[in-house]
Structure 1
Amino acid sequence: MSAPRSTRVEVNGWIILDKPVGMTSTQGVSVVKRVFNAKKAGHAGTLDPLASGILPIALGEATKTVPYVMDGRKVYRFTVAWGTETNTDDTEGSPVATSDIRPERAEVEALLPRYTGVISQVPPRFSAIKVDGERAYDLARDGEEVELEARDIEVHALRIVEYSREATTFEAECGKGTYVRALARDMGRDLGCYGHVTALRRAVVGTFDEQDAVTPDELRAMKEGASDLPPLAEALLPVETALEALPTLVVSQHDAGRLARGQGVILRGRDAPVFEGVAAVMSGGTLVALAELDHGELLPKRIFRL
């Protein structure tokens, strides 16, 4: 007997999920995929189960734009409890160091410039980084000593949102690969009081922020036609929303056809673009391709079937 045909449908676009604490990123993708009965879905940047906030989920052709979201800026709000460092750098772990010292606000403020700009950071032992083909958190949970190498990350801005001697809430704007738990751990060590993250929320990923976000419960209610919520289709953002940081080029239908066939397009004349690099190419209001402009020639990198 032949396998039953899939009843899933082609859905293209972005859902910005407001992931609750306790849900994994994979579970978040599954929720969205079920709600839309979508054939293909993936997320742009893992969010730990203990964290809440923005989890961009790409459906269909939007999966081709995931790298442009993951490489974008991220904003986190996180609370650090002073006095205890844990082996996971958050509330899931066991204490490994304690102190009766509590920092004054001026001490914390004075430390922030040291954690702004390009800095060297050792990722947490309980992280998804691979060591000899294994995830670091799997090795750590098995009791193995995990030694991760320091790497350069960039923190664009770091400020205090709310201060107390027992716990301080920060907001950090940072680039790809930054571990907020490691920031908390290292700040606690530098202040001589130790620290670990007790609450973490991601507020921005790339071009997406909390204004775009919907909760899993809201998505389910939209699917059921709740009268107090907009239609489900309105929660789906266009594929090109992820590419707002890129320049946009508009081409004719003829040139769009060439790009769709993998052929280059020569752009000449007074209105020819003067920049070089990757651009989002539109035709007739529809995203056609991601293409690289090189010396006046537009070369397709990714083709979209929308």
Structure 2
Amino acid sequence: MNQVKRVKRNVSGWVVLNKPYDMTSTQAVGKIRWLFGAAKAGHAGTLDPLATGILPIALGEATKAVPFVQDGTKVYRFTVKWGAATATDDAEGEIIATSDHRADAADIEAVLPDFVGTISQVPPTYSALKIDGERAYDLARAGEKVELAAREIHVESLTMLEHGNEQSVFEAICGKGTYVRSLARDIAERVGTNGHVVALHRGAVGPFDDEDAITIDQLEALEILERDALLKPIAASLADLPEIRLTQQQLTGVKHGNPVLLTGAGAPIGLDEAWASFAGKVVATGYVERGQFVPRRVFN
């Protein structure tokens, strides 16, 4: 019997997904795209399969705003198991080193300031970074030696929430490109032991956090129009940027990709990033130069 092909819809907005354990970010996007029948979908910031938490998924025109969410601040809560290092720096990999030493809470607290601010970090061998066009984890699984260069990241804060002899729980507030698995590995080495991540939850990405999140099970229990009603507007993803409210005349110019002169009291002269709106809807993202809003991306 022939199956009826689903018609793709031009639906736009954000799904703030609480990604389940043991699902890749790509699988999560595919599932959400299918549930909404969306013609277009993408995500802002990959989560490892063994991690849970906030995975912002953009549908339709919201995909144009992905970089603004992806570059936003992230909050992670993670549990480090002491005494063993693994090939993947998490519970999935084989144990490659062990240590009987266990640091006390004071020793760990003493080194945490060294991991705050702009620091240098070597990403995990099993990561999605590319080396000569190949993913690092693919090369590692094929038995090849993988050497990744250190890179600068920014950690706003790092706090130990709980401590035990065998494992401790931390919270990190950090910028784009931070690998929590590397933080755990490096903290353990600094206090004279080994360690790896056994639980990881992302509690926030940019303007979205746990309070906004919904699960796949919750979405599956709804009718499609009920799902649509739960979509976050595109404007929600741009909340950290200055908003330029356009007049009807300015709207026409921006819609055609043209710069428009901003008038009125308090009109900005220059801004590196901004978004333009009309009647509460996103029209474009861009910048302000010499008193003109210059669109980079126009939204339909």
Give your verdict on TM over 0.5. yes
Deviation at 1:276, TM superposition (A): 2.0
**1:274–1:180 distance in 2 versus 1, CA, 3 Å:** same
Query: Is the CA contact 2:259–2:293 (under 8 Å) kept in the aligned structure 1?
Result: yes
Given that 1:18 and 1:213 are in contact with CA atoms closer than 8 Å, whether structure 2 keeps it comes out as yes
**Offset from partner CA, 1:223-262 (integer Å, 9 cap, x none):** 279xxxxx32332000111100000010111111110001
Question: What residue in structure 1 maps to residue 34 of structure 2?
Answer: 34
Aligned counterparts, 1:178-217, within 5 A: 178-217=178-217
Post-superposition offset of 1:6:
6.7
- Mean alpha-carbon deviation: is it higher for 6-15 or for 49-58? 6-15
Please say if residues 276 and 295 of structure 1, whose CA atoms lie closer than 8 Å, have aligned partners that are also in contact: no
- The amino acid of 1:166's aligned partner reads E
AA matched with 1:79: T
Q: TM-score, normalised by structure 1?
A: 0.94
Quick one: distance in 2 between partners of 1:272 and 1:33? Answer: 39
Q: Any conservation in 2 of the 1:101–1:192 contact (CA below 8 Å)?
A: yes
Measure, in 1, the Cα distance between the counterparts of 2:224 and 2:256. Answer: 40
For structure 1, which runs of at least 5 residues remain unmatched after alignment?
226-230
Aligned counterparts of 2:230 and 2:30: Cα–Cα separation in 1: 16
1:267 and 2:242 are equivalent in the alignment: no
What CA distance in whole angstroms lies between the structure 2 residues aligned with 1:63 and 1:269? 32
Residue 237 (structure 1) aligns with = 232
Partner of 2:295: 300
Alpha-carbon deviations, 1:83-140, whole Å to 9, x = none?
A: 0001110111111110111110001100110110011000000000000110000000
Q: Which residue of the partner structure matches residue 17 of structure 1?
A: 17
1:103 partnered with 2:127: no
Structure-2 separation of matches of 1:32 and 1:213: 13
Structural mapping, 1:113-124, within 5 Å: 113-124=113-124
Equivalences for 1:123-134 in 2 at 5 Å?
123-134=123-134
2:240 aligned with 1:252, yes or no?
no
The CA distance in 1 between the partners of 2:196 and 2:259, in whole Å, is: 52
Q: Which of 272-281 and 59-68 deviates more?
A: 272-281
| Alignment: residue pair count | 297
Gaps of 5+ in 2: none
CA contact (8 A) 2:6 2:37 kept: no
**Separation (CA, whole Å) in 2 of partners of 1:279 and 1:77:** 31
Structure 2 distance, partners of 1:215, 1:177, is: 25
Shift of 1:5: 8.5
2: CA distance, partners of 1:292 / 1:275: 7
Correspondence list, 1:48-197, <5 A: 48-197=48-197
Contact 1:253–1:284 under 8 Å retained in 2:
no
* RMSD of aligned Cα (Å): 1.4
